[in-house]
Amino acid sequence: MPTPPDPSFLYPDVAACGSLATALRAEAEGWRGVVPVTSPDSALLLYATVASTLPYREPLQISAWSHERRWSISGSEPFEGATLIDGRTDDLAEVARAARAWHDGTSLIGIRQTAPFVHLTGRFEVPDRDPGQLAESEWQRMRQEADELEYAWQEKYQALIEVAYAEPALRALYPFTSHWALRFSTTTRPRLSVVGPCLTAGSDGTYGVGRGFITPDIGRFATAGEAVALAVRQLASGLGSIALGA
């Protein structure tokens, strides 16, 4: 891999300001002394964080690319560490607008309207950490992710997610994935309590149900509906409501 150029070569305007934080302040009138934006001493030109006025938002992470002039952002919530927004752009002014909106407590949709490069992950904010709402937020993230996939088996995987979501017994659980396998928990992140079987959409067009991770040792089916129906029958009775995985 070629050695990345000196940051001052890709970002001469940032270097002239002394840090990415200072450059961001320069992009928006009224920032100085108002919005807490900082850059680490170890990488003044490459990184910055912007705190939010909302206690249920982590500081927005802003990073500069090392091989081309571009910036990435990531905004998450503090309980699960789940990403709410991300995005990348070569326009520092857009980054500044997104950062300002994140700090000011603008809604997630409002942030995207302010800075169109921002990508909403599908999750929504749950200020009171209600477990049921956290599960629904994760379901919405998974549904959007499945819709945005560009893999050859995207339609099969999306069908699996949608059919599982339509089943009340599964929708009441907290969903998560690993290597594109759909699994379920009776607790939210950060401490998951796995229940039920593992569902997969195979590259051969079939849907698998397994006791362990990925291996479809319970059965393979031609449709997502058949696989989901069996998964529901495999659930233990009396699981109760979702709890926080604290």
* Per-residue pLDDT tens digits for 189-241: 999 999 999 999 988 889 999 987 777 789 899 999 999 999 999 998 888 89
pLDDT, tens only, 162-186: 999 999 999 999 999 987 899 999 9
pLDDT, tens only, 64-90: 999 999 999 999 999 999 999 999 999
Cα 156 from chain centre: 22
Residue 153 clears pLDDT 90, i.e. is over it: no
Enter the tokens of residue 92: 């520092």
Q: Which of 120, 144, 169 is the endpoint of a domain?
A: 120
Q: Which of 120, 142, 165 is the endpoint of a domain?
A: 120
Residue 32 clears pLDDT 70, i.e. is over it: no
**pLDDT at 179 (0 to 100):** 78
The most distant pair of C-alpha atoms in the chain lies apart, rounded to whole Å, by 64
Enter the tokens of residue 108: 């997630």
pLDDT, tens only, 33-56: 578 899 999 999 999 999 999 999
Whether residues 195 and 226 fall in one domain: yes
Residue 91 clears pLDDT 90, i.e. is over it: yes
Query: Which has more confidence, 246 or 228?
Result: 228
Whether residues 96 and 194 fall in one domain: no
Whether residues 85 and 145 fall in one domain: no
**pLDDT at 151 (0 to 100):** 78
pLDDT, tens only, 104-130: 999 999 999 999 999 999 999 999 999
Whether residues 143 and 77 fall in one domain: no
Residue 101 clears pLDDT 90, i.e. is over it: yes
Range of the domain at 59: 7-120
Partner residues linked to 184 by β-bridges:
175, 195
**pLDDT at 162 (0 to 100):** 97
**pLDDT at 201 (0 to 100):** 92
The residue-averaged pLDDT of 30-34 equals: 61
Q: Is residue 41 part of a domain?
A: yes
Residue 30 clears pLDDT 70, i.e. is over it: no
Q: Is residue 125 part of a domain?
A: no
**pLDDT at 33 (0 to 100):** 54
Whether residues 115 and 152 fall in one domain: no
DSSP the chain: -PPPPPHHHH-HHHHHHTSHHHHHHHHSTT-TTTS-EE--GGGTTTEEEE--SSTTSPPEEEEE-SSSS-EEEEEE-TTT--EEEEEEES-HHHHHHHHHHHHHT--HHHHHHHSTT-EE-S----TT--HHHHHHHHHHHHHHHHHH--STTHHHHHHHHHHHHHSHHHHTSEEEEETTEEEEESEEEES--EEEEEEEE-TTS-EEEESSSS---SEEESSHHHHHHHHHHHSPS---S-EEE-
Whether residues 160 and 107 fall in one domain: no
Residue 202 contacts residue 208 (beta carbons within 8 Å): yes
Q: Is residue 69 part of a domain?
A: yes
Tokens 């909106």, located at residue: 101
Q: Which of 101, 120, 139 is the endpoint of a domain?
A: 120
**pLDDT at 2 (0 to 100):** 75
Q: Is residue 233 part of a domain?
A: yes
Question: Domain tally for the chain?
Answer: 2
